[in-house]
């Protein structure tokens, strides 16, 4: 822990922080392995890696989505981010809340337009309203849909079933 963190009362990591792809899944293992060196942030070409209260990396989807290039994991000297070719880099999925403009009858499909795997679809509800749905099997959890939502109705969360 840094002296500044100690003086600011930053003793614990943010439990809700979304760690970069290929981060150790166990929060305690990640906290033990990550020395908050800061090498992963500048390595990210998307510029979406920020730091939490104690200086460890977290994803800020308000800045954009993850391309899963692996640059952050390649720069990690401690193994807290350890790139694995098989399997998913994380178990995240997009979710769309009740504030979605399409539910209220305003034609907005920005999230769908920015979803490369086409995991976001809209089904007609009638009277100009549309129901947004996320096909979890297709969603990579990249977060490209989050920043483009004009009302902040899109977020990225852990998959319900824990499957990657």
Q: Does 142 show up as a binding residue in the annotation?
A: yes
Q: Is the pLDDT of residue 11 over 90?
A: no
Residue 163 has pLDDT above 50, yes or no: no
The DSSP call for residue 44 is -
Q: Are residues 48 and 98 in the same domain?
A: no
> What is the pTM (predicted TM-score) of this model?
0.83
**Is residue 110 domain-shared with residue 57, that is, in the same domain?**
no
Q: How confident is the model at residue 100 (pLDDT cuts 50, 70, 90)?
A: very high
Residue 2: what pLDDT?
Answer: 53
The alpha helices in 109-150, defined as continuous H runs, are: 110-113, 144-148
pLDDT value of residue 164: 43
100 labeled part of a ligand binding site: no
Give the model's pLDDT for residue 122. 97
Residues 98, 71, single domain; the answer is no
> Nearest-CA neighbor of 133 among 147, 150, 120, 117?
120
Q: Would 164 be classed as within a structural domain?
A: no
Please, are residues 145 and 120 in contact by the beta-carbon 8 Å criterion?
Answer: yes
Identify the pLDDT of residue 88.
87
Q: 134, 141 in Cβ contact below 8 A? A: no
Handedness of CA 26, 27, 28, 29 (dihedral sign): positive
Q: Does the residue 44 lie in any domain? A: yes
40 is in an annotated binding site: yes
CA atoms within 13 A on the CB side of 19: 26
Compute the average pLDDT of residues 94-106. Answer: 96
Spatial contact of 77 and 40, defined as CB atoms under 8 Å apart = no
- Same-domain status, 98 and 63: no
Asked whether residue 83 is domain-assigned, the answer is: no
My answer on whether 99 and 66 are in the same domain is no
What's the domain range around 60?
A: 3-75
* Position 80 pLDDT exceeds 80: yes
CA 119 to chain centre: 15
Q: Which residue has the tokens 């009740």?
A: 98
- 30-62 tens-digit pLDDT: 999 999 999 999 999 999 999 998 899 999 999
- DSSP state letter for 103: G
Q: Is 149 annotated as a binding residue?
A: yes
How much is the average pLDDT of 115-119?
96
Asked if residue 87 belongs to a domain, the reply is no
66 is in an annotated binding site: yes
Given 75, 104, 127, which residue is the final one in a domain? 75
Q: Is pLDDT above 70 for 162?
A: no
115 is in an annotated binding site: no
Q: Is 108 marked as binding a ligand?
A: no
Domain co-membership, 112 together with 65: no
Q: Does 108 share its domain with 51?
A: no
Q: What is the CATH number of the domain that holds 140?
A: 3.30.70.20
User: In this structure, are 56 and 118 located in the same domain?
Assistant: no
Examine residue 81 and state whether it is found in any structural domain, yes or no. no
State the distance between the two ends of the chain, measured CA to CA, in whole angstroms: 31
Residue 85 lies in a domain: no
> What total number of domains does the chain contain?
2
Q: What is the pLDDT of residue 92?
A: 96
Spatial separation of the C-alpha atoms in residues 156 and 141, rounded to whole Å: 6
In a domain, 163, yes or no: no
């Amino acid at each position: 822990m840094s002296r500044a963190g100690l003086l600011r009362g930053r003793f614990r990591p943010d439990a809700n922080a979304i760690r970069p792809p290929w981060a150790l899944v166990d929060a305690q293992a990640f906290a033990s392995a990550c020395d908050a060196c800061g090498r992963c942030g500048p390595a990210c070409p998307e510029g979406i890696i920020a730091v939490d209260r104690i200086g460890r990396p977290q994803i800020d989807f308000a800045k954009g989505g993850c391309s899963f290039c692996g640059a952050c994991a390649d720069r990690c000297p401690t193994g807290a981010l350890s790139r694995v070719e098989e399997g998913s880099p994380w178990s995240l999925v997009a979710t769309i809340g009740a504030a979605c403009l399409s539910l209220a009858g305003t034609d907005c499909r920005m999230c769908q337009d920015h979803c490369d795997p086409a995991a976001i679809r809209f089904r007609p509800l009638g009277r100009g309203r549309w129901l947004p749905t996320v096909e979890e099997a297709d969603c990579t959890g990249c977060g490209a849909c989050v920043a483009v939502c004009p009302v902040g109705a899109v977020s990225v969360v852990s998959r319900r079933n824990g499957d990657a």
